[in-house]
Amino acid sequence: MDNPKQHQQRVALITGAASGIGLQIAHDLAEQGAMVCIVDRNGPAAEAAAQAITAAGGRAQAFVFDLADAQALAAGMDALLARVGQVDILVNNAGIVSTTPARDVTLAQWNTTLAVNVTAPMLLTQRVLPAMQAQRWGRIVNVSSISGVRAGTGRLAYGSSKAALIAMTGQFAIEVAAQGVTVNAIAPGFVDTPMLRSLHGSSKASTYQDVCPMQRFCSPQEVSAAVLFFCSEAAAFITGQTLGVDGGYLASGLFMPKLFDIPAAAPVS
C-alpha cells in the first residue's frame, strides 16, 4: 500500500490548477505531502487555490503565466525554478476547447489551441526533465481526452491537439525510461467541470451522458485518482501509456442504451 505522504520531499507543478480537474489534483498531491505549484493564467484564482491548500495544512505557491506565449512560459519557469529549485512531478493539465464545425475553425483558433494543449506541455517537459533524469526519478502525466482517441463533433482543433499530446507522451517516455522517469497520459471522458457545463450551450446534460455506458459524468476526484496512480511508486514500471477515465466510452463502440427496450423484430423466413 502506498505511503499517504509519499511525496513529502517533492515538488509538483500542475498547470491549469486554479479550478476544475487541476485544482483537485493540486489538493490531492498536497495531501500526499508535495509542495504544489499552482500554474494558471488567472492570477486571483491561482492565489486563492494556493491559499486554500495552505489553510488545509498543505504547501502551495501560485505562479501566473500564459501558456499560449512561449516566451512568457520560459520567463515564468525561470521564476518558478528560482523559487522551488526543481520539479519532481509535472502534470500538464491545462487545456482550451471550443466547439466549432471543422470547416469554420480559424487559423487563430487552431494555433492557440495547439500552443496551449501541445506546445506548452512539450516546453514544460523539456524544462523539467534534466533534473528528473539527474536524480533518476520523475513523474510526468499529460491530461489528454477521449477526443484525442475518437473523433467528436466540433472538435477539430481540440481533438487533434489531444491526439498529438498522446503521441508526444510516448515519444518522451521511451527516451527517459532508463533514468527512472515515467511519462503517461490519461484520457478523461465527460468530467463535471465548469468548462464542460459551458459547452452545453442549448443542449442538455443528457446529450453527453447518453453516450457514456455509466450514464453519468466523471468527477474531478476520479480523474485525479488516475493521475495520482501514475505519480505513485505503484506505477514505477508503467510508462508511455494512456489510460481512459471515461465510464466505458472508448470501449463502447455502438452503444445503444435503449436497444433492449425495443421489441424484437419478427424472424426472417
Give the residue from 139, 219, 222, 153 showing the smallest Cα distance to 185: 139
C-alpha cell at 173: 517516455
Strand 242-245 to 89-92 pairing: unpaired
Q: What angle do CA 163, 210, 159 make, to 5 degrees?
A: 15
- Residue in the structure block whose three cell numbers are 533514468: 179
Cβ contacts of 174 within 8 Å, gap of 6 or more: 239, 240
Place of cell 500538464: 92
Q: Is there a catalytic annotation at residue 158?
A: yes
Q: What sign results for the dihedral spanned by CA atoms 251, 144, 222, 31?
A: positive
- Residue 154 burial (10 A CB sphere; 0-12, 13-18, 19+): middle
Which position among 158, 208, 217, 230 bears the catalytic label?
158
Residues marked active site are found at: 158
